[in-house]
């Protein structure tokens, strides 16, 4: 049965899936959409092929070339296999595979292992769900040439995804991601995918890697004496139904914390995420149960990780005793400042150390690093770029810490991806350190503002779903390029950075400098008063994101609330001037 309202190219794809060697359940799902004449759903499912974005492959589960299913992930794995075989000829190649708690993640992980093994590639297969950062660690520990994590991170339950990793333990970056995509495109028929696995090439791993990983993390501890004195620090933790429940509690125990309270309802592994709307620690709603428990027991610290445990959200007490959520910029500043000062105190800053962050993450971090004469590098959005830089500097410089505003941080060089397990341990340690010194994380943040200036950030994300949504987002970016704002919140725009063209333009004299970063669809506006506004379509969600950073000096603590109010008003004005408030 044909659907005349579909574009011809889309209809051709639909017919390939209806008539090809696909299973009956897949064909029935497509046919049901045809019978309902649901052209929007069919178009969205087939108008393009899933491609690697900032976080690999990610999408809604279902039938179609633009959906996550055994065929799209199978093609990705076959393409990845072909790339590895071409890159490492004559070698016994190995990969590591892990998965989170999402619906079908275990099924997709097993299928991925079978395709790799069918191609003669050895697979180290985690016995059950594990965090993304442990996968990154395991690739390096086992000397594997690649790896795959089956997860859609913090996306809603309808989503799943596939993060592909290289031999350095980092997500694929150019040209490796393009090489895989090119190989995937050569898989013109599902008959080209080797689905029949070789069990002799699949080795189960688990506790032995867990123990090595946690022992490695413990070596990063800075303030063991403070932890011993504050071992009863009241911590509330939630994995939001995900993999954080596997390793965060034992890691906190290994660090010496003896008073950790788990949100038991969210320790239940469930891909439907029944207790939250979105399993995203950036959202206050996702931390509701943890906050309620914290109030009940008068906790010192609240932490919650996303399903694959590479990101963490935290809440701390303010000076009135109320819990406040810290955003990703604030948590990153606290963590990096803590580690920087500890390294300085220990005499470990030799001039070869460095920090890494993304271009949309608080520039307060750049200022803190400069004060310690530590290099701070800015990368494109996505932790894979931070990981790439770490690998580049591995033998010449020492990585201290890194982070991005989207709640992902890394301390130590054991992985090449953001790590909520070490982040939880170090944040808890940091809380113990400040409490041991008569302070708190809340006051430590104010102290940073007193020293370096009060930086405040805000993110607005606008969702535009489907093919039409993607076109709307691109139109918005085109308009900003064609008609960039001259003034934002009463301050002149002095610099325009276009990461797509790789050019930084000085507005006053028109001079242009080239930027040494890969091309990316990001625009940044720098104003005369130090504000920075970034516009960027998401690489993993149907959203366009606007990041805004403003700052003012803070002379004393009594001015904190007044300056904060002033900055909040300025952030609102910035977004209104951009037409996205």
Residues with active-site annotation: 153
- With beta carbons less than 8 A apart as the criterion, state whether 177 and 125 touch: no
Contacts for 211 with CB less than 8 Å, ≥ 6 apart: none
Element (H, E) at 229: helix 224-229
Cβ atoms within 10 Å of 32's Cβ, excluding its own: 12
Helices (H), 517-578: 560-578
Contacts for 158 with CB less than 8 Å, ≥ 6 apart: 60, 61
- With beta carbons less than 8 A apart as the criterion, state whether 471 and 477 touch: no
Residue linked to tokens 């503002």: 449
- Rounded CA gap, 447 and 457, in Å? 17
- With beta carbons less than 8 A apart as the criterion, state whether 550 and 534 touch: no
Cis peptide bond upstream of 175, omega within 30: yes
The angle, 0 to 180 degrees and rounded to 10, between the axes of the packed helices 39-46 and 24-35 is 140
How many CA within 13 A on the CB side of residue 338?
Answer: 26
- Rounded CA gap, 469 and 467, in Å? 5
| Phi-psi sector, 111: left (phi>0), alpha (psi -120 to 50), beta | alpha
Identify the bridge partners of residue 205 per DSSP, sorted by sequence position.
126
């Amino acid at each position: 049965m044909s659907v005349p309202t579909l574009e011809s190219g889309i209809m051709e794809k639909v017919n390939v899936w209806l008539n090809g060697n696909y299973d009956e359940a897949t064909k029935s799902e497509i046919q049901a959409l045809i019978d309902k004449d649901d052209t929007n759903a069919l178009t969205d499912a087939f108008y393009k092929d899933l491609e690697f974005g900032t976080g690999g492959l990610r999408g809604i589960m279902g039938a179609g070339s633009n959906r996550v299913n055994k065929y799209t992930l199978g093609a990705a794995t076959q393409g990845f296999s072909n790339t590895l075989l071409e890159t490492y000829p004559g070698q016994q190649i190995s990969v590591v595979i892990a998965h989170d708690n999402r619906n079908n993640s275990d099924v997709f992980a097993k299928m991925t292992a079978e395709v790799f093994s069918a191609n003669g590639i050895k697979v180290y297969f985690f016995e059950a769900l594990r965090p993304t950062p442990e996968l990154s660690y395991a690739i390096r520990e086992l000397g594997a040439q690649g790896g795959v994590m089956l997860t859609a991170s913090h996306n809603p339950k309808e989503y799943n995804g596939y993060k592909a990793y290289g031999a350095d333990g980092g997500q694929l970056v150019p040209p490796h991601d393009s090489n895989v995509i090119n190989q995937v495109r050569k898989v013109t028929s599902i008959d080209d995918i080797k689905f029949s696995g070789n069990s002799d090439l699949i080795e189960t791993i688990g506790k032995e890697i867990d123990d090595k990983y946690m022992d490695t993390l413990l070596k990063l501890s800075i303030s063991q004496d403070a932890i011993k004195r504050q071992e009863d620090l009241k911590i509330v933790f939630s994995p939001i139904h995900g993999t954080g429940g596997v390793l965060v509690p034992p890691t906190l125990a290994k660090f010496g914390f003896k008073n950790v309270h788990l949100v038991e309802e969210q320790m239940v592994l469930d891909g439907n995420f029944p207790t939250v709307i979105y399993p995203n620690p950036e959202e206050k709603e996702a931390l509701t149960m943890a906050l309620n428990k914290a109030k009940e027991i008068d906790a010192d610290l609240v932490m919650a990780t996303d399903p694959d445990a590479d990101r963490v959200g935290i809440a701390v007490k303010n000076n009135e005793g109320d819990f406040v959520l810290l955003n990703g910029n604030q948590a990153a500043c606290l963590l990096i400042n803590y580690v920087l000062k500890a390294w300085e105190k220990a005499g470990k800053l030799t001039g070869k150390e460095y920090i890494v962050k993304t271009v949309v993450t608080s520039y307060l971090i750049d200022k803190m690093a400069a004060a310690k004469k530590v290099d701070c590098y800015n990368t494109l959005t996505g932790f894979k770029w931070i990981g790439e830089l770490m690998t580049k500097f591995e033998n010449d410089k020492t990585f201290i810490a890194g982070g991005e505003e989207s709640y992902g941080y890394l301390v130590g060089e054991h992985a090449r991806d953001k790590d909520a397990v070490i982040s939880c341990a170090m944040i808890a340690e940091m809380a113990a350190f400040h409490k041991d010194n008569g302070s708190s994380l809340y006051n430590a943040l104010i102290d940073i503002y007193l020293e370096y200036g009060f930086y405040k950030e805000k993110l607005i994300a606008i969702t535009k779903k489907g093919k039409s949504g993607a076109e709307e987002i691109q139109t918005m970016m085109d308009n900003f390029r064609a008609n960039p704002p001259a003034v934002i919140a009463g301050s002149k725009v002095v610099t325009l950075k276009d990461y797509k063209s790789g050019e930084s333009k000085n507005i006053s004299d028109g001079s242009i400098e080239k930027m040494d970063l890969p091309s990316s669809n990001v625009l940044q506006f720098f104003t005369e008063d130090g504000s920075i506004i970034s516009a960027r379509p998401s690489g993993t969600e149907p959203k366009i994101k606007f990041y805004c950073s403003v700052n003012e000096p803070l002379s004393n603590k009594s001015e904190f609330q007044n300056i904060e109010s002033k900055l909040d008003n300025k952030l609102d004005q910035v977004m209104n001037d951009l037409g996205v408030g």
